Amino acid sequence: MVYFDNSATTIPYPEVIDTFSTVARSYFANPSSLHPLGKEAEQLLNHARKKVASILAVEAKEIFFTSGGTEGNNLAIKGTARQLQKRGKHIITTSLEHSSTHDAMAELENDGFSITYLTPDMNGQVSAEQIENAITSETILVSMIHVSNELGSKQPVEETGAILRKYPKIVFHVDHVQGITKVPLSIKDASIDLCTISAHKFHGLKGNGVLYVRQGLKLSPLFSGGQQEKGFRPGTENLAGIVSLTKALRMAFDKADDKIASLKDLSTWIEREVSEIDGVVMNSPLNRAPHILNFSILHMKPEVIVQALAERDIYVSTKSACSSKNFEPSRVLSSLGFSETRASSAIRVSLSFDNTKDEAIYFVKTLKDIVSTMKKVVKV
């Protein structure tokens, strides 16, 4: 099997699954229970929180466990908007965002908030200057994806954080789901107030995530009931999931130092080879994240390509997994000004540290064969 759909989800590390199983069996008690079993579970939860904080170079009290990226983004965006709406109702974001951010913004618009959607350039990037120019006296939040889940384009998070230091009343949220472990980012140095990550993007299990909340920042919770996670995220903690997330995060970061450069080399090789196929145009910019490559095969249905590859045990996607069953042109690619033909024929290849050159060679050869065969059929 050649699995090149890691931006949709990664294959869990066996050690992560083992950790989940061990914790689920041995630490099954509710961490809020007062008896000794509950206390043991609580101690393990606290240890996991401290470990995640250490890896991310933040404070343990700033780590809040969620069910993943979608919940984290919604809590950050809606929680900030509702907490600060008396101060102002203007929010700045981009047209590149994941659907969990984009749809949360649309919901807030229906509630009377004013949303500025910044338009990226042809490289899939907005500028920090665009953000500063969009700020008004009513602005309460800037929400930005770090790495585009479709294009792999990197946004100017550090530069934006530097600008927002001049506006201390504006909250800065970063969706770091696709960048975590692949594109280095210092939460503290970038002056980020809220940061979202999701376990299944770094070989953890689905249904587990983290929202970093800068100390002193208040959010309106999405849920009611209970004081878990300081009331920000009520509900009995998924202890086995949290501990396995911690394991996956540590393992992924341990690999990152040695693997990021080779990952970039591998995706660059694929990019060069695929570019030679007639009818292919590259959508990802040159300065992209090392693991995401997006290209269009003009006048060919991407879902047909995806299925033809799958028949040969190769797995890629068309766009964000959350939107892949919607056969409309990609919202993100359309926002760059790409034609409908180009925006509706995109293929996304997304790699992990464990992918190999042999897999890439097989993928490129197979893709060339499929495209050649399909063009012959069309001509007939």
pLDDT digit string (tens) for 95-149? 999 999 999 999 999 999 999 999 999 999 999 999 999 999 999 999 999 999 9
**Residue 213 sits in the same domain as residue 323:** no
Active site residue 322: yes
Query: Which one of 193, 225, 251 terminates a domain?
Result: 251
Please pick, among 17, 55, 281, 322, the residue that the annotation labels catalytic: 322
Question: What per-residue confidence (pLDDT) applies to 380?
Answer: 40
Please name the helix (run of DSSP H) or strand (run of DSSP E) that holds residue 296, with its range, or none: strand 292-297
**Residue 316 sits in the same domain as residue 331:** yes
| pTM of the predicted protein model | 0.94
Query: Which one of 251, 284, 307 terminates a domain?
Result: 251
**Residue 112 sits in the same domain as residue 154:** yes
> Which pair of structure tokens corresponds to residue 33?
């229970």
Q: Which residues of the chain have pLDDT under 70?
A: 319-327, 378-380
DSSP state of 297: E
Q: What is the identity of the amino acid at 365?
A: K
**Residue 152 sits in the same domain as residue 169:** yes
Beta bridge partners of 65: 210
- Give 45: exposed, middle or buried? Use CB within 10 Å, 0-12, 13-18, 19+: buried
C-alpha dihedral sign at 261, 263, 267, 272:
positive
**Residue 332 sits in the same domain as residue 370:** yes
**Residue 130 sits in the same domain as residue 275:** no
Q: What is the identity of the amino acid at 327?
A: F
SS3 label, residue 20: helix
**Residue 221 sits in the same domain as residue 188:** yes
**Residue 242 sits in the same domain as residue 272:** no
**Residue 52 sits in the same domain as residue 142:** yes
pLDDT digit string (tens) for 184-202? 999 999 999 999 999 999 9
Which CATH number belongs to the domain containing residue 49 in this structure?
A: 3.40.640.10
Question: What per-residue confidence (pLDDT) applies to 231?
Answer: 78
Question: What per-residue confidence (pLDDT) applies to 102?
Answer: 96
Question: What per-residue confidence (pLDDT) applies to 326?
Answer: 55
**Residue 117 sits in the same domain as residue 62:** yes
Are 185 and 179 contacting, i.e. CB atoms less than 8 angstroms apart? yes
Place of tokens 């509630």: 111
Q: Which domain holds residue 124?
A: 14-251
Query: Which one of 196, 223, 251 terminates a domain?
Result: 251
Are 298 and 340 contacting, i.e. CB atoms less than 8 angstroms apart? no
Which CATH number belongs to the domain containing residue 337 in this structure?
A: 3.90.1150.10
CA proximity to 192, closest of 210, 209, 208, 215 = 215
Q: Per the structure, how many domains does the chain have? A: 2
**Residue 239 sits in the same domain as residue 268:** no
Question: What per-residue confidence (pLDDT) applies to 229?
Answer: 86
DSSP state of 200: G
**Residue 109 sits in the same domain as residue 241:** yes
